[in-house]
Amino acid sequence: MENMNNIPKEKFAFVHHGEQISDKKFEDKPIGYFKDAWIRFRKSKASVVAAIIILCIMLYSVLTPLLITSHDATFMCSTYAKKPSRVTWLRDFGIATGGVDRNTNEAGYIKLVAIGAGAVSGKGEAVSLKEGMDSPYQPILHTGAPYVQEMGKKTTYYPVKVDTYLEVGFLYTDVEQAEYNKILAWQEQTGIQVIYPMVDTRNEYCFDPEDANYWYKTKGKAVPVSTVGGNAKSLSYSEDLVLEDNYKRNADGSVAYFSYTGGGDQNTAQMKIRVLYYNYYRYLYGSEPNYIMGTDSQGYDLALRIAGGIQMSLLVAISVSVINFLIGAAYGAVEGYYGGTTDIVLCRITDILSGVPFIVVATLFQIHLAQKVGAIPSLLFAYVLTGWIGTAGRVRTQFYRFKNQEYVMAARTLGARDRRIIWKHIFPNTLGTIITSSALVIPSVILTESMLSFLGIIKLGSAEATSLGTLLSDASGIWTQYPHLMLYPALVISLLMICFNLFGNGLRDAFNPALRGVED
C-alpha cells in the first residue's frame, strides 16, 4: 500500500482526455397519446396496407359516380342487361371488349356474320359475308378453327368470341311519326344509320318474325337459302357468300323502312321500325355503350351499383359502430366503475336483451317498422337494440381491471370526482379495446346486412340505391352464365371484411397503453 501511495502523478494519464466520446444528443421530448399510437400503427405493414385498400374502396364509391358522366346510377337499359364489361377505347387492346366465348353451328355462325353484313347493307343492296366481317358492327371478335362433331350426324361448330353488345343486332320498336322524323334528321346530321329496311315476315322464308336479325331468306332451322331459279336451295358458309335479302318491298319495288300500325295524325301516328340497336342507343343516350364492369341483371351500370352498394354498406356499418361505441362505452363504464347492485341490475338487462335473436328482431322491424320510417332506419334500430352489448361488456371488464390501480386510488384520494376518474383516468386505458371492437363491428355489420338482403329479409334494391347483398342475390341464380355479376360484389365484400379485420388489429396494438413507448 505504501508503494502505491508513492506513485508519482505524472505516471497517470487520461485515456480520452479532450476527446468527444459521442456526438449523440439525448433528448427527452414528450410524445402525445395519439402520435404514439400512430407510430405503433405504422409498424404493422398489414394494417397499413388494409387501411390503404379501405381508403381506395371508399374513394371508388365516391369518385365513380363523378367520373361516369354519360349516365347516372338510375339509368337502366334492359336490352343490355347481364352484359360483361365493355369500354370502346380499350377494345383495340383486347380489354373490356364485351366479349364471351361460344360454340355455334353453321347456321348460328352465318347469323352472327349477317348482323355485320346487314349493317353494311343499309339500303338493301347485296353484300358478301366477307364485307360483313369487316363491318364495325360485326359482333364476332375472333373465330377459332372449326371442328366437326358427330351427334347422329356430322355437325360443324365454330368457336367464336362475340361482342354481346353488337350481338343484339337489329330490333323492332314502335315510335310515333314525329320521333321517326327526329331519327331521320339525326341520321342525316351524324351520318350514322339507325333505321334499316323492314323484313317481310309474311312469307315462308322468315324463320322468326320476332327476330329482326333474320333479314335474309331462311328455311327449316334458320338455314339460309337462295330462291334464284324458283327452288329454295340451302346455302353453306363461305366468305364470298351473298345472302338473299327478305326485305319488305313497296309497290315500286323499293325497300320499306316502316310499317304503319294505326291511329294519330302526322305527328302521333304509330309506326313500327327496324333499328340497329347499337346506333339506336347512341341516338337515345348520346354515347356508345360503355360499362367498365358490365351491367347487372336488370340493365343498370354494375360499376355504379357497386359504388352505391359500398356507400350504403359503409353508411350503415359506420353508423352502427359509432352508436354502439357511444352507448356501450357509457353503459359499460357505469357497470364497471360502480359495481355492486348497479352492476347486477344492468347486467340482468343486458342478459335479457342478448337473448333476443337478431335475425328475428331485424325481420319484425322490416315487417312493421320499415313501412313507416324506411328500410335503412329500421335496420339501424335492429342493430342498435342489442349491438352495443358486446362493447359494454368489454368496457365493463376493463373498468374492473383498472379501477383499483394505484393511480386511480391516488386521484380519488386527491378529491377527484367520479366523472373525472371515469373519463380522464380509466377510460383512456380502455380505448384500445373499444376502438378495436368498434372497428371490428364494421365488417360484421357489412356481412350481416349483405346476408339479410341476400336472403330477401330486407329490401334495399331500388332504382336509386342498392346493397352488395342485393346484387349477390340477383346474381345467385344466373352467375354460372354471367360470372361477373357475382364476382365484383363478392370481391368487394371480401376485401372489406379482410381489410377491416386487419385494420382493427392494427388499432388494437396502436391504442394499447401497455405498449406505449415500446420500440421493436
User: Helix 484-510 to helix 427-455 angle, to the nearest 10 degrees?
Assistant: 170
pLDDT above 80 for 64: yes
Name the grid cell of 399: 373498468
pLDDT in tens, 71-99: 888 899 999 999 999 999 898 888 999 99
CA-to-CA distance for 471 and 459, rounded, in angstroms? 11
CA-to-CA distance for 511 and 520, rounded, in angstroms? 16
pLDDT in tens, 243-263: 999 999 988 889 999 998 887
Pick the CATH number of 49-64+299-515 from 3.30.1330.10, 3.40.50.300, 1.10.3720.10, 3.40.50.10800: 1.10.3720.10
pLDDT above 90 for 281: yes
Residue 365 near residue 382 (C-beta atoms within 8 A):
yes
Name the grid cell of 462: 331500388
pLDDT above 90 for 110: yes
pTM beyond cutoff 0.75? yes
The residue type of 126 is A
Domain ranges in the chain? 49-64+299-515, 86-285
CA-to-CA distance for 427 and 34, rounded, in angstroms? 15
CA-to-CA distance for 306 and 467, rounded, in angstroms? 8
- Listed in sequence order, the residues at least 6 apart from 508 whose beta carbon sits closer than 8 Å to its beta carbon are 432, 433, 435, 436
Residue 361 near residue 382 (C-beta atoms within 8 A):
yes
Confidence band of 215 (pLDDT split at 50, 70, 90): very high
Using a CB cutoff of 8 Å and minimum separation of 24, what contacts does 491-496 make? Answer: 492/57, 492/306, 492/309, 492/310, 492/468, 493/446, 493/447, 493/450, 493/468, 495/53, 495/57, 496/54, 496/57, 496/310, 496/313, 496/443, 496/446
Per-residue model confidence (pLDDT) at position 18:
59
CA atoms lying within 13 Å on the CB side of residue 217: 19
Residue 137 near residue 166 (C-beta atoms within 8 A):
yes
∠ Cα 500 326 518 (to 5°): 55
